[in-house]
A and B are shown apart, each in its own frame.
Chain A
Amino acid sequence: MKAGVITFPGSNCDDDVVDSLKKVGGFDVERLWHKDTPDLSSFALVVLPGGFSYGDYLRCGAMAARSPIMEKVKNFSSKGGFVLGICNGFQILCESGLLPGALARNLSLNFICKDVTVKIETVETPWTRSTEKNTTLTLPIAHGEGRFVIDNDGYEELVKNSQIVLTYQNNPNGSTHNIAGVCNKNNNVFGLMPHPERATDLRIHDGLKIWSSLKIQLGLHS
């Protein structure tokens, strides 16, 4: 099953995503370049990795969201294709309008790089299917602009549609209602600030639960 990993200028977690997808197996991983406009119809999954696309100039993810490939990603997601945005990828998905809300400067103004505990708010998504509700995952974060911001109406909408997937146990960055990861209404687009691809080894491995959920969703043997 084909999975695409997009590299924007300044992406730096693309190799980690490729490695972790190869590790969990079942995916035929293909690298994609932000300036290209590939036919994504044969893909099951497209991942926007973390990093500092366009040097984080203007706003994190702002210019990457206007890359040529993003029109293809929007089209792919509108047809039900699975899109995952990690860290800077999450910022790009919000900037492109594929996910609600925005990511602003951390309240502390610090770049925070540490392991955090996040709670599973819903298992009714392709990304959390193999987890249990209200259990926790330990995943690393590494960001300066990870404070999820959404207005009250937007938040009500997220709650109503069960779009809040992950929340921080000890909010590290001031995110509204401790939100660490959200889905779109159809659950096929998911963005999160923590890095599941960096949690697939002996030290921490909860990232595997996200990947294995997706494999179950796609009918791949986990």
Chain B
Amino acid sequence: MKARIHVFYKDSVFDPQGSTVEESLKRMGFNKIKNIRMGRVIDLEMDYDSKEEAKRDVTKMCERLLANPVIESFKHEILD
């Protein structure tokens, strides 16, 4: 079983990296970009019997280490 986790700065926290990449792309002529947020993707391989159990533990991992709730939000998907 696999999980893919996405961690981003919360919308309320300015993301200088996303903003810099956005400016570069616009300079290259991609003028239709409205906003870029850069984040982190974490892929996990796991050995769980049930998706529910995996989902519960992945949520705990995010809350306790993989994301900082003060400045970041996360979402995850459990893949077969």
Interface residues of A (CB under 8 A from B): 58-59, 62-63, 66, 94-95, 100-102, 104-109, 149-151, 174
Contact at B17–A105, with CB atoms within 8 Å? Answer: yes
The distance from the CB of A64 to the nearest CB of chain B, in whole angstroms, is 12
- When distances are taken between beta carbons in the complex, the residues of chain B under 8 Å from A104 are 9, 13, 71
User: Which 8 residue pairs of A and B lie closest in terms of their CB atoms, listed nearest first?
Assistant: A102-B70, A102-B71, A107-B16, A109-B16, A149-B71, A102-B68, A104-B71, A105-B16
Q: Which of B9, B12, B13, B68 interacts with A62 by CB under 8 Å?
A: B68
User: A62-B68, A66-B65, A104-B71 are known contacts. Are A149 and B16 too (CB-CB below 8 A)?
Assistant: no
Chain B 36-57, CB within 8 Å of chain A: the 1/0 string?
0000000000000000000000
- When distances are taken between beta carbons in the complex, the residues of chain B under 8 Å from A108 are 16
Given contacts A66-B65, A151-B12, 12 further A-B contacts (CB under 8 A): A58-B66, A62-B65, A63-B65, A100-B70, A101-B70, A102-B68, A102-B71, A105-B17, A107-B16, A108-B16, A109-B20, A149-B71
Provide the main secondary structure of the chain A interface: loop
Q: How many residues of B contact A (CB 8 A)?
A: 12
Sampled A-B contacts (5; CB under 8 Å): A102-B71, A104-B9, A149-B70, A151-B12, A174-B16
Nearest B residue to A152 via CB reads B12
Chain B 53-65, CB within 8 Å of chain A: the 1/0 string?
0000000000001
Q: Which of B12, B17, B68 interacts with A95 by CB under 8 Å?
A: B68
How far is A160 from B70 in the complex, measured between Cα atoms in Å? 20
- When distances are taken between beta carbons in the complex, the residues of chain A under 8 Å from B17 are 105, 109
Contact at B13–A58, with CB atoms within 8 Å? Answer: no
Q: Is B30 an interface position by the 8 A CB rule?
A: no
The distance from the CB of B76 to the nearest CB of chain A, in whole angstroms, is 15
How far is A108 from B17 in the complex, measured between Cα atoms in Å? 9
How far is A12 from B12 in the complex, measured between Cα atoms in Å? 33
- When distances are taken between beta carbons in the complex, the residues of chain A under 8 Å from B13 are 104, 149
How far is A149 from B71 in the complex, measured between Cα atoms in Å? 7
The distance from the CB of B67 to the nearest CB of chain A, in whole angstroms, is 9
How far is A151 from B12 in the complex, measured between Cα atoms in Å? 8
How far is A106 from B65 in the complex, measured between Cα atoms in Å? 22
How far is A12 from B16 in the complex, measured between Cα atoms in Å? 27
- When distances are taken between beta carbons in the complex, the residues of chain A under 8 Å from B16 are 105-109, 174
The distance from the CB of B27 to the nearest CB of chain A, in whole angstroms, is 16
Contact at B70–A94, with CB atoms within 8 Å? Answer: yes
